[in-house]
């Protein structure tokens, strides 16, 4: 355009040079994060935090420095899975994450609250503002992979988080029941709307393997994850069985000792 002022704020034209005002929150000067991977689910309780934690453990085992930003503010469960009881520290300028036993940097609201059982009854903008602060005010020291445990669903809070943090890719966590509904499709559409690639899909609680006879029982119905993945062009697929060892690892703060081979298909694809 010949009369272009290069000031998109004062111009209503839609042209190829248009630069939208970025809503991204900045990192502080002490932080460096190479890749940010958001872990999403259509609903709570499907194992999103468990998968986020396993991915961070997997990355750390591969020799990367990993971090978890727990953006699931109203249901923060990451510190418990890692057995972290201490509180985060900080000064007027910065907040310091807590390090897990294997060196994963973790920030979660539970690390700031007096008590783990205090309910968080904040409204959407405050929740989203807290996540922005976790990104901007926490010292993320030389992080190779940051995994963001997203708030469940496709509402206002996850959307604001996506707009505030420069997410490189998304992992969708679902269960066989949810795969037959529109929930996964909504998550896929949200990712597409924001132009963020979907790096993989995890079908959690996919089946139960009988410890006596070894046969697989599809408690929540037959798996359709491959079909859904190919419909949306998602390459990496992982199926995690219902496993009481995983439940007790999370409950007892021992996720760093858990078997991460269940997400190997995904971790081998994204952690390179």
Please state, in angstroms and rounded to a whole number, the distance separating the CA atoms of residues 223 and 207. Answer: 8
Q: Which of 57, 161, 205, 228 binds ligand ADP (CB under 6 A)?
A: 205
Q: 65 or 239, CB closer to ligand ADP?
A: 239
What 257-264 contacts at long range (C-beta under 8 Å, 24+ apart), as own/partner pairs, is 258/54, 258/57, 260/54, 260/57, 260/58, 260/61, 262/54, 262/238, 263/51, 263/54, 263/55, 263/58, 263/202, 263/238, 264/238
Separation between Cα atoms, residue 256 and residue 258, nearest integer Å: 6
* CB nearer to ligand ADP: pick between 161 and 205: 205
- Nearest-approach distance from CB 232 to ligand ADP, in angstroms: 20
Q: How is residue 179 written in tokens?
A: 């795969």
Interface characters, 45-74, with ligand ADP (x: CB under 6 A) = xxxxxx------------------------
**Cβ proximity to ligand ADP, 45 vs 125, nearer residue:** 45
- Nearest distance, CB of residue 140 and ligand ADP, angstroms: 22
Beta carbon nearer to ligand ADP, 55 or 250: 250
Number of shown-chain residues binding ligand ADP (CB under 6 A): 18
Q: Which is nearer to ligand ADP, 49 or 136 (CB)?
A: 49
Q: Are 13 and 120 in contact (CB under 8 A)?
A: no
| Beta strands at 66-70 and 105-107: parallel, antiparallel or unpaired | parallel
Q: Tell me the closest approach of the beta carbon of residue 174 to ligand ADP, in angstroms.
A: 10
Q: Does 80 bind ligand ADP (CB under 6 A)?
A: no
Structure tokens given for 183:
């929930």
Angstrom distance (rounded) from CA 81 to CA 99 = 13
Binding mask 250-269 for ligand ADP (x = CB under 6 A): x-------------------
HSE-CB of 193 using CA atoms within 13 angstroms: 10
Nearest to 71 by CA among 24, 32, 37: 37
Site for ligand ADP in 212-251 (CB under 6 A): 240, 242-243, 246-247, 250
CB of 40 to ligand ADP, least distance (A): 10
| Nearer Cβ to ligand ADP (77/267) | 77
Question: Which residues make up the interface to ligand ADP (CB under 6 A)?
Answer: 41, 44-50, 75, 77, 204-205, 240, 242-243, 246-247, 250
């Amino acid at each position: 355009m010949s009369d272009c002022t290069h000031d998109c704020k004062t111009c209503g034209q839609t042209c190829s040079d248009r630069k939208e005002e970025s809503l991204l929150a900045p990192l502080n000067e002490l932080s460096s994060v190479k890749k940010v991977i958001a872990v999403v689910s259509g609903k709570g309780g499907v194992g999103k935090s468990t998968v986020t934690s396993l991915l961070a453990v997997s990355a750390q085992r591969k020799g990367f420095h990993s971090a978890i930003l727990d953006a699931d503010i109203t249901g923060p469960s990451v510190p418990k899975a890692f057995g972290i009881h201490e509180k985060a520290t900080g000064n007027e300028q910065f907040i310091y994450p807590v390090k897990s036993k294997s060196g994963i940097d973790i920030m979660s609201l539970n690390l700031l609250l007096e008590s783990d059982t205090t309910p968080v009854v904040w409204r959407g903008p405050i929740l989203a503002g807290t996540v922005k602060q976790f990104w901007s005010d926490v010292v993320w020291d030389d992080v190779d992979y940051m995994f963001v445990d997203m708030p469940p669903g496709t509402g206002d809070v996850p959307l604001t988080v996506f707009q505030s943090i420069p997410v490189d890719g998304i992992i969708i966590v679902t269960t066989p029941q949810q795969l037959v509904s529109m929930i996964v499709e909504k998550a896929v559409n949200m990712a597409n709307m924001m132009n963020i690639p979907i790096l993989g899909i995890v079908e959690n609680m996919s089946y139960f393997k009988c410890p006596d006879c070894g046969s697989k029982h599809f408690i929540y119905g037959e798996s359709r994850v491959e079909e859904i993945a190919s419909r949306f062009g998602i390459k990496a697929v992982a199926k995690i069985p219902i496993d009481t060892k995983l439940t007790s690892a999370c409950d007892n703060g021992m996720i760093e000792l858990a078997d991460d081979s269940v997400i190997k298909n995904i971790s081998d694809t994204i952690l390179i």
